[in-house]
Structure formats: C-alpha cells, structure tokens
Structure 1
Amino acid sequence: MAVVESVLSKVPEPLRSVLIKHREMLKFGIVGGTTFIVDNGVWYLLKLTVLEPKPTTAKAIAIIVATIVNFILNREWSFRTRGGRERHHEAALFFLFSGVAMTINLIPLLVSRYVLDLEVPHVSRLVQEAADFASGAILGVLLAMAFKFWAFKKWVFPDELGERRRANGDSDEEEPDGGAGNVRKLR
C-alpha cells in the first residue's frame, strides 16, 4: 500500500472522500510545502550572508533552486498520472510557466522593498524582515502557487495526455475501501 493510501485509510470517512476527490491538489500542496521550506531556507541563507544587500536577487536564486525540486516532485508524484509528452517538452513548459510564476512571486517583494520603502534605514530591521516574509514568502508564494496549479494542470500535465498512462496501468489513483485492506480503482 502506498504512503498516501496508508495515510488516507486513517482519516475519517467524510474527510477521506474530500481528500481523495482533491488528491492532486493535496499532493501539489505537499510538494509546495516542501519547496516552500527549500525556497525560504535558501533565500534566508543567501540574504543573511553573501547577498545581504540584494534580497530580491537572493529570492530569485532561491526560487530557481526550489523550482528544480518542484519539477522533480510534481513530475514524479503530484501529476504522475497526467502528462505524457516527451520529458524535454514537459520540462520546457514547466520551466516556462515557473518563470512566469517567479515573476508573480517577486512582485509583492519588489513593491514592499522599493515602492513602499519597507527597508532599512526607512524602517527598523524587524519591520523590514517581517515585510519581506509577508510579501516574499507568504503573499508572493500564494499568488504564484495558484497560478502554477492552474498552469500545470492545464498546459504542462494535461489530463487528456495522461489517459494513455492510465490505460497502461501506471496509475496511483486508488482509494482504500474503508480499511478492509482491499484497494479499488477510482473512476
């Protein structure tokens, strides 16, 4: 039994049905949470050390690192049963839309720092860091995540291309049947 199925078997039934119905979004969210940690870890590492005077550059580098991790996890787990294009074509589309999402992600940080002047010496270091976190790590990420979920489902890993994968039996769209140990395919 896969990890997702073992976790879902422990969830109460009303919630389990909702989670199964929105399985892709749940997996996308888990991947997003993982890459959120990668993104912010790299960002703060760079912005508090070698790129201290350039927080937007540090954020852009962090997003690129997180995007690579994101591609691997989304391709191999979240949208595993979708897609079907040649890998290089899929990767090109993924990184194209991720580039657009990176721009969307950076806009709130740029506005915070350079339009609202929420940076030292105009404000205290605490206010600057709180504004950076709220704009770059929360607002920017949420806007980019919404865009990426739509774009990845629509253009990078479209369901109609995944039909041939599922036809060949490469599917993880299974649901525990209430803990009896049997697994049935979702339709």
Structure 2
Amino acid sequence: MRFTERALNRLPRPLAELLLKYRETVKFVIVGGLSYVVSLTINYTLRLTVFDSKPVTALTIANVIGTVVSYFLNREWSFRTRGGRRRHHEMLLYLVVNGIGVAVNSAPLWISRYVFGLHVPNVSRTVEEISDFTFGMVVGVALAMVFRLWAYRVWVFPHDDARPAPNRHEVPAQAVLPAPAPAPVATDSPGA
C-alpha cells in the first residue's frame, strides 16, 4: 500500500474524498510549502551574511532558487498529468510565470521598505524584521502562490490528462469496523 493510501486511510472518508477531489491543489500547496522552506532558509542565510543591507536582493535570489526546486516537483508530481506543450515551450512559460511570481513576491517587501519606510533608522530593528518577514515571506508568498496556481493551470500546464498518470487511484477503502449483525429475533415456535 502506498504512503498516500495509508495516510488517506487514517482520515475520515469525507475528508479523504475532498483531498482526492482537489489533489492537484493539495500537491501544489505541499510543493509550495517545501519551496517556501527552501526560500526562507536561503533568504535568511543571505540576509545574515552577504546581503545584510539588501533584503530585496536576498529575497529575490532565494525565490529564484525556490522556483527551480518547485518547477521540477510541480512538473513531475503536482501537475504530472497536465501538459499539452513541448517541454522547452513549457519550461519557457514556467520561467516567465515565475519571473512574474518573483516580482509579485518581492513587491510587498519593496513597498514596505521604500514606500512605507519600514527600515532602520525610521523604525527599530525589531519592527524592521517583523515588517520584512510579514511583507516578504507572508504577504508576498501568498500573493505569488495564488498567481502561480492560476497561471500554471491556464498557461504552463493547460490541458488536463495530457500525460498518462502512473497510478491514479480512487478513494481508499476506509478501515472501518463492519456494522454489527442484527440480534436474532426470538420467536415462539410451537414445539418448544
């Protein structure tokens, strides 16, 4: 039994059906979560070392690396049955969409820093860090995620079932105890 089937067997049947119905979106969110961790780690590694005074540059580099990770995971897992374009055309569209996604992700941080002035010496270092995290890693990521999901479905991987799925499966049978058998009904028999 596959890991996915084992995990779904542990969930209530309505929730398992809902997750399977929206499995493409669920996989996209999982890949996004992993890419988020990659971007977050690289962003703060760069910000705490070589780009300490250039947070937008650090975030942009981190997002580019996270995008490369996300392409391969989305292509081979989240949208594995979608396609309809030649590989090089698909990759070019993916890069364009993600270039726009990186800009969408970086825009809230840029606005907070350079329009609202939420940086030292205008605010304390603590306020600057909270603002950078909120606008760069929360608001920016959320806006870019919604844009990317829409753009992948419309432009990058436009046709569903363009590639055969290796192993599509239905909602797994839930491990539910069978209903108890009804109790025998006592009858008065004439010879008893």
User: What is the alpha-carbon distance in structure 2 between the residues aligned to residue 96 and residue 172 of structure 1?
Assistant: 31
Match of 1:2 in 2: 2
Gaps of at least 5 residues in structure 1 are 181-187
Q: Among residues 168, 171, 190, which one is paired with 1:173 in the alignment? A: 168
Aligned-residue sequence identity (percent) comes to 47
Amino acid of the structure 1 residue aligned with 2:101: A
What's the offset of the Cα at 1:174? 1.4
Q: CA distance change for structure 1 residues 93 and 48 in 2, over 3 Å: closer, same or farther? A: same
What's the offset of the Cα at 1:150? 0.4
User: What is the alpha-carbon distance in structure 2 between the residues aligned to residue 34 and residue 172 of structure 1?
Assistant: 23
Q: Where do 4+ consecutive residues of structure 1 move more than 3 Å?
A: none
Larger Rg: 2
**Structure of greater relative contact order (alpha carbons < 8 Å, 6+ residues apart):** 2
For the 8 Å contact 2:17–2:171, the answer to whether it is kept is no
Gaps of at least 5 residues in structure 2 are 176-192
Match of 1:184 in 2: none
Q: Structure 1, residues 121-143: CA drift from partner, whole Å, max 9, x if none?
A: 11111100000000000000000
User: What is the alpha-carbon distance in structure 2 between the residues aligned to residue 35 and residue 123 of structure 1?
Assistant: 30
Match of 1:59 in 2: 59
Match of 2:109 in 1: 109
TM-score, with length taken from structure 1: 0.89
Amino acid of the structure 1 residue aligned with 2:103: T
What's the offset of the Cα at 1:173? 3.0
For the 8 Å contact 1:38–1:66, the answer to whether it is kept is yes
User: What is the alpha-carbon distance in structure 2 between the residues aligned to residue 20 and residue 150 of structure 1?
Assistant: 19
Match of 2:158 in 1: 158
Q: Structure 1, residues 159-179: CA drift from partner, whole Å, max 9, x if none?
A: 34x33x23xxx3443124324
User: What is the alpha-carbon distance in structure 2 between the residues aligned to residue 124 and residue 62 of structure 1?
Assistant: 25
Q: Give the length in aligned residue pairs.
A: 175
Secondary structure at the aligned position of 2:11 is classed as coil
For the 8 Å contact 2:39–2:65, the answer to whether it is kept is yes
User: What is the alpha-carbon distance in structure 2 between the residues aligned to residue 137 and residue 116 of structure 1?
Assistant: 17
Structure with a larger share of its residues in helix: 1
- Alignment RMSD: 1.4
Q: CA distance change for structure 1 residues 5 and 66 in 2, over 3 Å: closer, same or farther? A: same
Amino acid of the structure 2 residue aligned with 1:145: M
Match of 1:31 in 2: 31
Q: CA distance change for structure 1 residues 172 and 95 in 2, over 3 Å: closer, same or farther? A: farther
TM-score, with length taken from structure 2: 0.86
User: What is the alpha-carbon distance in structure 2 between the residues aligned to residue 116 and residue 172 of structure 1?
Assistant: 51
User: What is the alpha-carbon distance in structure 1 between the residues aligned to residue 151 and residue 168 of structure 2?
Assistant: 21
For the 8 Å contact 1:60–1:102, the answer to whether it is kept is yes
User: What is the alpha-carbon distance in structure 2 between the residues aligned to residue 72 and residue 3 of structure 1?
Assistant: 21
Secondary structure at the aligned position of 2:170 is classed as strand
What's the offset of the Cα at 1:94? 0.6
